[in-house]
Amino acid sequence: MQTVMNPTMHHDSHTLQGETIGIIAGWGRFPVAVAEAIRRRGGRTAILSIRDHADAALEPLADVHGQVGVAKLGAAIDFFRRHGVTRATMAGKIHKTKLFGRHAWLHHLPDWRALVTFWPHFISRRRDNRDDTLLAAISTAFDRAGVKICPATDFAPELLADEGVLVGRPLSAAEEADVAFGWRLAKELGRLDIGQTVVVKNRAPLALEAIEGTDECIRRAGRLCPSGGMVVVKVAKPRQDLRFDMPTIGRGTLESLRAAGATVLAIEAGRTILVDPDELHAFARRSGITITSLCDEAGSPRLQTAA
């Protein structure tokens, strides 16, 4: 078994020397990993948890902590400015399906800053509601208020996946063909800003990710193909904005692979975040899942030749 997952390989010399870094924290372990990395580098954390999303484990990692509704953009900006934050990052998933529920605007009543920012998207319909479009609008609002939104990897570069077979055996020829096929599909899906994940078997697409997210996409493929043995490919968008929505792999992703009967996860080296890498390594090994991390070359993966 070849394993090259090493969470301490990258740039540990990056120190933050007491700077207060803002974290807009959504669902999952990713915000926790980012907060831990900032503190390891000597930084302070101003963590703003999105209500009904963020992990309770974040609060002890915060030098200052607040909570905000998903549509309270002005309150978020005011929180960071009040605590001297000039650089912040977004970490963790926002459940976009909540924004399309019945009476969503009543439940997530926007403040004035959010109303002005999102009016062209949700009210006048002059702009679309793709992830990149909405997140860019949020980032622009923060920038105008003097808070720069940065990639999470500026503060936690060790979370980026290295190239190689991270866990498990080398791919078979059939699996390599599925990875190459799925990679092209996933890159096109990302180019259209629809999703980042596809599930394939025998060069046939089983499931493509949209608003439901990666985990449900994988589990849907398992329901459609109960015999298992699928390949899951998750890649960055061709024009990925590294400030947000970078592909992220956590334990929940691997639990979905195991539940679906998938045996291979292919990700993009240097453009995918691994949350709790040691735990991922151990879980994948126990579950018989191979994780391979590949570099993109002109829209195709650079495949390693099986030994």
pTM listed for this prediction: 0.82
- The per-residue pLDDT for range 102-154, each reduced to its tens digit, is 555 545 567 566 666 665 655 546 656 666 777 788 888 899 999 999 999 99
* Average pLDDT score over the chain: 86
Retrieve residue 219's tokens.
């589990």
Retrieve residue 203's tokens.
């060069």
Q: Give residue limits of the domains in the chain.
A: 20-154, 159-301
Residues of the chain whose pLDDT is less than 70?
1-14, 95-109, 111-131, 304-307
CB 235 within 8 A of CB 273: no
> Looking up tokens 């807009």, which residue turns up?
24
Give the pLDDT score at 11.
Answer: 44
Give the pLDDT score at 307.
Answer: 39
Give the pLDDT score at 7.
Answer: 39
List the Cα angle 135/141/147 in 5-degree steps: 100
In this structure, which topology does domain 159-301 adopt according to CATH?
Cytidine Deaminase; domain 2 (3.40.140)
In this structure, which topology does domain 20-154 adopt according to CATH?
Rossmann fold (3.40.50)
